[in-house]
């Protein structure tokens, strides 16, 4: 006799393993290529602004389609969307791994992989939400959170290792191997869902509004520092077309941001109307009545802002301030990745004895303290040992908060809406990450340039070298290198000024990140206590999961 929806799924732990391996390749893809930029530039004979569209494009496509991908999972089933997403991800990786041009890499990585990831990520959360209950649910989300957090930290290490010892192309070839295995595992081990109610229509206008609005918003947040927030810093070129020349008085970024807000406001108005008239909205705004979902999303955005700000500042400090290689700086971050994994598991176990919301709050507090420790340890002569207490505290706190916060966000959401809710959860993470990198990155760059300018002007360098160095500093920022032709003594003086300036800029940036996470901890006080995260089926509609195919219309089976 096949188990019913209320019975524990005997294959649930295999399902979790499939989800975690798939999540790993999706998250790694957002960071693993950063350390390979110089190699890719040489192999594909391109320039950095062109390649940057590839690196940014994956995140743009991913963030743009998350809510749509989650809603498709609600309509057609998360298992089906997971399989389709994994197939697209594998195809995109294959194209990217064999790229002979930037255009081919852009198609595989930024477009096809990004679409696949936007289908896979919400599906992973929806599948976990539907498969696990009670203490096991907290444990499953702890593993999910540990994997997502650690993958971000370990991405540069893995990318540096593959690029140095093999090829950057192996960053994609691994996906080509894993994606088919994930599909086969999903077909064999994941539960099928028979939809017992009328299938809803896809909200095409809503999908177009949120896709275009999210694309423009994430682009403005992530690229404002490159093209200028108000004053243009460079031409905005799209496919060889100069869409916005740097000679204009205002940058394109504020106009793009305004357009994004208008489109998203139109999306909210449309969804509100569709929900009132029962016209199958893409996202039901009434789900925000669940306080855990509403304030959990807000806390998630702030948490991601602080986390990604940290992961942006520290590599700059280590590589441009301490002149470590990409692999060396990645290895310095290993303790935080390990502690994220440990913290997530400990946090999952703590939910058995204390309220899950308390675990999230404790994690946010530890994360803020860890960032404070790191900021205080920052100096031109910073050492690994000096950073270690902060890295450990930050990692444990992030493990506590990140894993169980997702659990809290989805705790009150009906299972038939878990996909769209999961998409919204990941979307606000992406927005928070983009905003964190934009604001904290700008703060780091501004403070670094200001301190370096002051140091160079007050130095004993010849006037000609000073003028040349200052001009190069304002063009290159934290990527400054000594101008060609200067003496070794002058180069050493410039190097010392830059090292001191990077450390001086990193400290306020990290303190700002700590402040942001502290605000997140305060916001988490608005999240209600959740006495139990296990939910029995509340209606006959929820009791629909089976293991073997049954004699129904194939169009209704996921």
* Choice among 40-54, 97-111, 234-248 with the minimum mean pLDDT: 40-54
Q: What would you measure as the largest C-alpha separation in the chain, in angstroms?
A: 86
pLDDT at 543 over 70: no
Buried b (16+ CB within 10 A) or exposed e, 44-58: bebeeeebebbbbbb
CA–CA distance, 62 with 152 (Å, rounded to integer): 15
pLDDT at 34 over 90: no
pLDDT at 531 over 70: no
Mean pLDDT computed over every residue of the chain: 79
pLDDT tens for 451-508 read 888 888 888 778 877 787 777 776 666 566 667 777 778 777 887 787 788 888 888 8
Report, as an integer, the average pLDDT of 127-132: 84
pLDDT tens for 134-187 read 778 777 877 887 787 777 767 777 777 787 778 888 888 999 999 999 999 999
Query: In this predicted structure, what is the pLDDT of residue 158?
Result: 79
In terms of pLDDT, which residue wins out, 157 or 301? 301
Report, as an integer, the average pLDDT of 82-101: 93
Domain ranges of the chain: 12-202+282-450+503-556, 203-281
Torsion 95-97-100-104 (CA) sign: positive
Query: In this predicted structure, what is the pLDDT of residue 544?
Result: 25
pLDDT at 558 over 70: no
DSSP string for 2-42: ---TTS--TTHHHHHHHHHHHHHHHHHTTTTTGGGHHHHHH
CA-based nearest residue to 85, from 55, 32, 123: 123
CA–CA distance, 510 with 314 (Å, rounded to integer): 9
Report, as an integer, the average pLDDT of 109-136: 87
Q: Helices 134-165 and 334-350 sit at what angle, rounded to 10 degrees?
A: 170
The CA radius of gyration of the chain, in Å to the nearest whole number, is 24
Tokens of 64: 């743009």
Query: In this predicted structure, what is the pLDDT of residue 261?
Result: 93
- Helix H, strand E, coil C: the string for 79-147 is HHHHHHHHHHHHHHHHHHHCCCCHHHHHHHHHHHHHHHHHHHHHHHHHHHHHHCCHHHHHHHHHHHHHH
The angle subtended at Cα 388 by Cα 382 and Cα 393, nearest 5°, is 130
Compute the half-sphere exposure of residue 459: CA atoms within 13 Å on the CB side of its CA. 27
Q: What are residue 192's phi and psi, to 5 degrees?
A: -85, 155
E strands in 327-392: none
CA-based nearest residue to 220, from 249, 190, 260, 185: 260
pLDDT at 407 over 80: no
Residues in CB range of 228: below 8 A, 6 or more apart: 234, 246, 251, 253
CA-based nearest residue to 413, from 541, 270, 284, 544: 284
pLDDT at 123 over 80: yes
pLDDT category of residue 286 using cuts at 50, 70 and 90: confident
CA–CA distance, 234 with 218 (Å, rounded to integer): 19
pLDDT category of residue 191 using cuts at 50, 70 and 90: confident
Indicate whether this model's pTM tops 0.85.
no
**Where is mean pLDDT largest: 274-288, 412-426, 505-519?**
505-519
Query: In this predicted structure, what is the pLDDT of residue 90?
Result: 94
CA-based nearest residue to 513, from 435, 451, 454: 435
| C-beta separation of 500 from 380 below 8 A | yes
In terms of pLDDT, which residue wins out, 29 or 269? 269
| C-beta separation of 479 from 225 below 8 A | no
pLDDT at 297 over 60: yes
pLDDT category of residue 370 using cuts at 50, 70 and 90: very high
Query: In this predicted structure, what is the pLDDT of residue 419?
Result: 72
Query: In this predicted structure, what is the pLDDT of residue 438?
Result: 72
* Choice among 383-387, 453-457, 540-544, 548-552 with the minimum mean pLDDT: 540-544
Q: Which CATH architecture has domain 12-202+282-450+503-556?
A: Up-down Bundle (1.20)
pLDDT at 283 over 90: no
Instruction: Find where tokens 């590589």 sit.
Output: 319
pLDDT tens for 426-438 read 778 777 777 777 7
CA–CA distance, 477 with 138 (Å, rounded to integer): 44
Q: Helices 463-476 and 488-523 sit at what angle, rounded to 10 degrees?
A: 30
Which value, to the nearest 10 degrees, does the dihedral of the CA atoms of residues 196, 200, 202, 205 take? -160
pLDDT at 314 over 50: yes
Report, as an integer, the average pLDDT of 265-271: 91
pLDDT at 235 over 50: yes
In terms of pLDDT, which residue wins out, 471 or 336? 336
pLDDT category of residue 520 using cuts at 50, 70 and 90: confident
| C-beta separation of 554 from 377 below 8 A | no
């Amino acid at each position: 006799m096949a188990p019913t929806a209320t019975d524990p799924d005997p294959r649930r732990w295999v399902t979790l393993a499939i989800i975690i391996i798939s999540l790993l390749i999706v998250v790694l893809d957002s960071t693993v290529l950063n350390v390979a930029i110089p190699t890719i530039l040489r192999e594909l004979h391109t320039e950095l602004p062109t390649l940057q569209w590839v690196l940014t494009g994956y995140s743009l496509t991913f963030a743009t389609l998350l809510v749509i991908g989650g809603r498709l999972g609600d309509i057609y089933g998360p298992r089906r969307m997971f399989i389709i997403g994994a197939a697209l991800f594998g195809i995109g990786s294959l194209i990217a791994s064999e790229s002979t041009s930037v255009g081919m890499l852009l198609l595989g990585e930024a477009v096809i992989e990004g679409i696949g990831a936007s289908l896979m990520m919400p599906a992973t959360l929806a599948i976990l939400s539907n498969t696990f209950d009670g203490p096991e649910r907290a444990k499953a989300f702890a593993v999910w959170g540990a994997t997502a957090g650690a993958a971000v930290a370990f991405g540069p290490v893995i990318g540096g290792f593959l690029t140095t010892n093999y090829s950057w192309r192996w960053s994609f070839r691994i996906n080509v191997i894993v994606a088919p295995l994930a599909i086969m595992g999903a077909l064999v081990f994941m539960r099928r869902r028979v939809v017992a109610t009328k299938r809803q229509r896809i909200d095409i206008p809503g999908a177009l509004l949120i896709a275009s609005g999210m694309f423009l918003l994430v682009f403005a947040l992530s690229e404002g520092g490159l093209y200028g927030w108000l004053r243009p810093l460079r031409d905005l070129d799209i496919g060889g077309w100069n869409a916005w020349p740097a000679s204009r008085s205002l940058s394109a970024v504020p106009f793009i941001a305004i357009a994004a807000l208008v489109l998203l406001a139109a999306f909210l108005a449309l969804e509100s109307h569709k929900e009132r008239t029962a016209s199958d909205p893409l996202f039901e705004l009434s789900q925000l009545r669940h306080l855990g979902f509403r304030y959990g999303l807000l806390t998630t955005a702030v948490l991601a802002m602080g986390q990604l700000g940290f992961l942006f500042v520290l590599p700059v400090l280590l590589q441009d301030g301490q002149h470590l290689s990409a692999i060396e700086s990645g290895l310095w971050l290993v303790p935080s990745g390990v502690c994220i994994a440990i913290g997530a598991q400990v946090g999952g176990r703590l939910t058995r004895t204390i309220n899950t919301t308390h675990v999230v709050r404790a994690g946010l507090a530890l994360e803020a303290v860890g960032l404070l420790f790191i900021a205080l340890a920052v100096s031109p002569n910073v050492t690994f040992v000096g950073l270690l207490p902060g890295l450990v505290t930050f990692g444990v706190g992030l493990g506590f908060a990140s894993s169980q916060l997702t659990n809290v966000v989805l705790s009150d959401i009906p299972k038939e809406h878990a996909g769209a809710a999961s998409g919204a959860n990941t979307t606000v993470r992406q927005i928070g990450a983009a905003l964190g990198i934009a604001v904290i990155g700008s703060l780091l760059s501004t403070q670094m340039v200001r301190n370096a300018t002051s140091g160079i002007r007050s130095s004993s360098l010849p006037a000609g070298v000073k003028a040349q160095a200052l001009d190069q500093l304002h063009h290159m920022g934290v990527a400054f290198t000594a101008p060609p032709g200067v003496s070794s003594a002058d180069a050493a003086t410039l190097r010392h000024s830059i090292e001191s300036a990077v450390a001086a800029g990193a400290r306020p940036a990290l303190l700002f990140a700590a402040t942001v996470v502290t605000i997140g901890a305060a916001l988490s006080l608005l999240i209600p206590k959740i006495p139990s995260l296990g939910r029995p089926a509340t209606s006959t509609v929820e009791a629909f999961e089976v293991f073997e195919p049954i004699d129904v219309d194939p169009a209704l089976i996921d």
